[in-house]
Amino acid sequence: MNKKKLMQIINRLKNTKVMVIGDIMVDKFVWGKVSRISPEAPVPIVEIEKETHTPGGAGNVAVNINALGGNVVLVGAIGNDFVGNKLIEDMKHKGVDTTGVFRDEMRPTILKTRIIAQHQQVVRTDREIKGKIPTTIVNKILYFLEKNITKVKAVVISDYGKGVICSNILKETVKLAHKYGKPVVVDPKIEHFLQYKNVTCITPNLQEATVGMREHDVPEGRAFVHLGQRILKKLKCGSVLITQGENGMTLFEPKDRVTHIPTVAKEVFDVSGAGDTVVAVLTLALATKANILDAAYLANYAAGIVIGKLGTATTTLDEIKEKIVD
């Protein structure tokens, strides 16, 4: 790893334009403290001190890219409701292009609420309607994709299995990306794992890689290497980056090239959202013509920062630079 080279890549990230297509949601955090148990049931009473809202899913990928100085075009679907309105308002305030976000009148904006007391998550509630998005929305996304893909340097497919990434959108995205020479990176969902063919890179965590390839047990040692190589061959993709939380990540490339990248995190506080950070940094780097190995090393530095933060977090170019020279 050449730290000087990584610094050069970082300096190219700003203003690089990337399209993020996927399931957009909102992460709500209710922060409080617990000092007693409810007399009505054996559950803690959380005294609320504050509430925060952050974009989640594909929205969090977009925010990560934005925090790194990149320009983002966000594509997906939300509900015609207050949560969706607030999300669009927040995105526009950050400078994210939301002209590719379409309203689905039939279901609400996905909202995940986490109640946290003394830095511990007490419970999570989800408000969503699962299933495929309407054909009218699919057609709007496809039309937007065709008209705007030449305006970006790379594409992220952020699949949370909520209905936006259907076979039509997936196939057309990859087809257009190949046609115009744009790298396409996938943050996968297990249910669709075998459909992500011919992409530039797929970034599953170890659980997603294992179950996605229909394995029963999490592999170790040589079996783990074999798993990564099987994914590479099965999906005919350019590379596979398997993230492993506090154990870092491993990059699989053609010709049996396997590179393990240890984590640079000094402490692991919260791994939620780290996958969004990895795919954001990786894609931005590839968009600047960095090779996949350098892009993976850069993404690992970014992941090492966000897993040391609580909740859905992002990092900045200055933080990554500081981590590299540390």
Is residue 36 situated within a structural domain? no
Is residue 47 situated within a structural domain? no
Is residue 230 situated within a structural domain? yes
Domain tally for the chain? Answer: 1
Collect all residues with Cβ–Cβ distance below 8 Å to 38 and sequence separation of at least 6. Answer: 44, 45
Nearest to 203 by CA among 29, 2, 64: 64
Is residue 135 situated within a structural domain? yes
Exactly one of 23, 97, 187, 276 is catalytic; which is it?
A: 276
Q: How would residue 305 be classed by pLDDT, with cut points 50, 70 and 90?
A: confident
Q: How would residue 271 be classed by pLDDT, with cut points 50, 70 and 90?
A: low
Cα Rg for the chain, rounded, in angstroms? Answer: 19
Is residue 161 situated within a structural domain? yes
Asked whether residue 2 carries a pLDDT value surpassing 90, the answer given is: no
Mean pLDDT of 302-309: 77
User: In terms of pLDDT, which residue wins out, 307 or 201?
Assistant: 201
Which pLDDT score, from 0 to 100, does residue 292 have? Answer: 96
Is residue 35 situated within a structural domain? no
Q: Is 276 a catalytic residue?
A: yes
Asked whether residue 266 carries a pLDDT value surpassing 70, the answer given is: no
CATH number where 300 lies = 3.40.1190.20
In which domain, by residue range, is 301 found? 3-24+56-100+130-325
Stated pTM of the model: 0.91
Percent of the chain predicted with pLDDT > 90 = 76
Is residue 110 situated within a structural domain? no
Is residue 301 situated within a structural domain? yes
Q: Locate all alpha helices (DSSP H) within the chain, ordered by sequence.
A: 3-13, 58-67, 82-94, 135-148, 167-179, 206-212, 222-235, 274-287, 292-306, 317-325
Mean pLDDT of 265-283: 75
Q: How would residue 219 be classed by pLDDT, with cut points 50, 70 and 90?
A: confident
Q: How would residue 213 be classed by pLDDT, with cut points 50, 70 and 90?
A: very high
Asked whether residue 264 carries a pLDDT value surpassing 90, the answer given is: no
pLDDT digits (tens, 9 = 90+) for 27-73: 999 999 999 999 999 999 999 999 999 899 999 999 999 989 999 99
